Chains A and B, each alone.
Chain A
Amino acid sequence: MRRAHARRTATTIREVSDIVVTTDERPEGRQRSAEEERLLAQRRRDTRNKWLWRIAGYVVVLLIWEYGFQAIMELIAGRSLNDALLPGPIRILQTIPDIWEDGEMLSNFGATLTRIGIGFGVSFIAGALIGLFTQNKWLDSFFRDLVVVSLTSPGLVWALTGLIIWGFKPLGWIFAIFMTTFALVSVNISEGVRALPKDLLDMAKAFGVSSIDRQRHIVIPHLAPYIFTAVRFGFSIAWKVTVLTEVFSSNKGIGFQMRVTSQVFQLDEFFTWVLSFFVFALFLEKVVLQRAEDRYFRWRQEVAT
């Protein structure tokens, strides 16, 4: 009885050490087990299904837009809606080459992007500085309500204020972008600074690491996620406010084009501008920001896998 028990214990220990070897130091080129194959196949299936459903979402929305609305109108009113009032996706796609060939697309996009770049650039620098200043309790009191006002007030207020004071001058849109986005940046940076990893900073201090290296290797990597959040949200608001200011007070840019085309009932062109706006926003989010984030936070993915 005792011997059997001893043997069982020995077997268990060997099994455990086997597991340690396979997880810790898997030899290169090892055959995958059946369970691993099953999990990989499942993962592939999940990815495929996710994409299929996503594409299905687009297709259904576009089909309803192209044919569904007209069918509903015919059912309710007994006649189809004027094509100029609700152009379908096919007609909108057809107008893109026209706008592109005119050179309108690039010049208007360029104008809007330049405004966002300058406006948000100024706002980001000022917001980050204010975020750092608010570590001081006096300066925190000084900026507190200003930050709350900026966070809660609608962009329209600042777009109109900018128009009234500065008209078509750049200060108008810089002011509107600044007022709507600096607080987002300052709140994020301030939160990040408040959560600085004191244990790591103390460690660096104990090892006599220079202040510059502490900033570079501890403070900035720690703040990076907060900065990314600030850029992501700040940019999305800057984008909307810029277009809004262009609707009111500009003779160039996507917002200006939206105003002109809607005034003359060229809804196919109007929607083309809206669509291009969406596509660009998606590109920015999914390609530019996501890529930058993936690159910067490679360590998180490595750890997760």
Chain B
Amino acid sequence: MAEIKVKNLHKEFGVGDDRVVALENVNLDIEGHVFVSIVGPSGCGKSTLLNILSGIETASSGTVDITQDSHDANPGYVFQAARLLPWRSVMENLMFVQKERDDEARARCQRYLDMVQLGDKGDKFPGELSGGMQQRVGIARAFSIEPDVLFMDEPFSHLDAITARSLRRELHEMWKQTKKTVLFVTHDVGEAVELSNRILVFAKGGKLEDDITVDLPFPRDPSDDAVAVAKAQVLRKFEELDLLAT
């Protein structure tokens, strides 16, 4: 079972007047098949946390320990923009991140493209697809390496409401089927309540302020009373922490 342990994680940028603390002594313990959302206002270090966990950035101090079932596995990452190579076809984009680029990997990539309903678009270039389709390719790419841990950084924030909603459903189905540990950054509290088992609330200055467990059955419909109440509770927490004003 996958496990993410973060101890006293600290990250700051710049010096003097330009010094910015992005994360302040964050401690975290995430274990097993859970969907964890990270919410908070802009500039609270949500994306920085994912970037450090995925190795894109290094921490100023503190430790990160990610244990996965398969030791050589790499976590998957879905970015805010799809970040596809524009000069490679959809299938080549998926193959690009595979450790072994063999027939088995190709079949696996095809399976995940089918799962995001783009099975027939493997030969297309990203520029030929709509924004929603590109993001689905990004999701298929992250799943195609079959990681135990998946990072997602506001993956639906660039999309229109309808596309975002259908992708949320697809994502939930895939998460249910593939049993991954997901760390999902969002600024949309409704989205966090709809998808997550746990919601981590970050405040400006990179402080982890609260760790909320959402104990509601899946699938969750945003129009359900229970989901609406849960959303209101999280928002009230935001108010208590004075996060809405920022």
Contact = CB atoms under 8 A, between A and B. Distances in A.
Interface stretch (A200-208, A230-238, A248-256, A257-265): A200-208
Given A217-B88, A299-B127, A202 B96 contact: no
Nearest to B123: A302
A218 interface: yes
A218 B74 contact: no
Contacts of B141: 207
Given A202-B56, A209-B96, A302 B125 contact: yes
A303 interface: yes
Interface string B113-152: 0000000000011011000000000000100010000010
Interface residues of B, number: 25
Contacts of B56: 202, 205-206
A207 B125 contact: no
Chain B CB count within 10 A is highest, among A200, A206, A221, A303, for A206
Interface of A: 199-200, 202-209, 213, 217-218, 221, 297, 299-300, 302-303
A296 to B, nearest CB: 9
Interface in B30-47: none
Given A203-B77, A209-B97, A218 B128 contact: no
Interface string B70-114: 000011110101010111100000001101000000000000000
Given A202-B56, A203-B79, A209-B97, A221 B85 contact: yes
Given A218-B85, A302-B125, A303-B127, A199 B96 contact: no
Given A207-B97, A208-B74, 18 more contacts: A199-B79, A199-B81, A199-B83, A200-B85, A202-B83, A203-B77, A203-B79, A206-B54, A206-B74, A206-B75, A206-B77, A207-B77, A207-B145, A208-B55, A208-B99, A221-B88, A299-B88, A302-B127
Contacts of A297: 87
A207 to B, nearest CB: 4
B100 to A, nearest CB: 12
A223 B55 CA distance: 25
Contacts of A208: 55, 74, 97, 99
A241 to B, nearest CB: 33
12 contacts: A200-B85, A203-B79, A206-B54, A206-B77, A207-B97, A208-B55, A217-B88, A221-B87, A299-B88, A302-B124, A302-B125, A302-B128
Contacts of B77: 203, 206-207
A205 B54 CA distance: 8
Contacts of B51: 202
A197 B74 CA distance: 22
A204 B88 CA distance: 14
A221 B99 CA distance: 21
Contact of B96 (A206, A217, A300): A217
B139 to A, nearest CB: 13
Contacts of A204: 96-97
Contacts of A303: 86, 125, 127-128
A137 to B, nearest CB: 19
Closest 8 CB pairs of A and B: A303-B127, A208-B74, A207-B97, A206-B54, A203-B83, A206-B77, A221-B87, A299-B125
Interface in B156-199: none
Contacts of A217: 85, 88, 96
Nearest to A209: B97
A38 B58 CA distance: 59
A217 B83 CA distance: 13
A207 B74 contact: yes
Nearest to B86: A299
B95 to A, nearest CB: 10
A218 B75 CA distance: 20
A200 B51 CA distance: 14
A18 B85 CA distance: 31
B116 to A, nearest CB: 15
Nearest to A303: B127
A239 B218 CA distance: 70
B68 to A, nearest CB: 12
Nearest to A210: B99
A299 B55 contact: no
A24 B49 CA distance: 38
B81 A213 contact: no
Contacts of B151: 206
A211 to B, nearest CB: 14
A203 B124 CA distance: 20
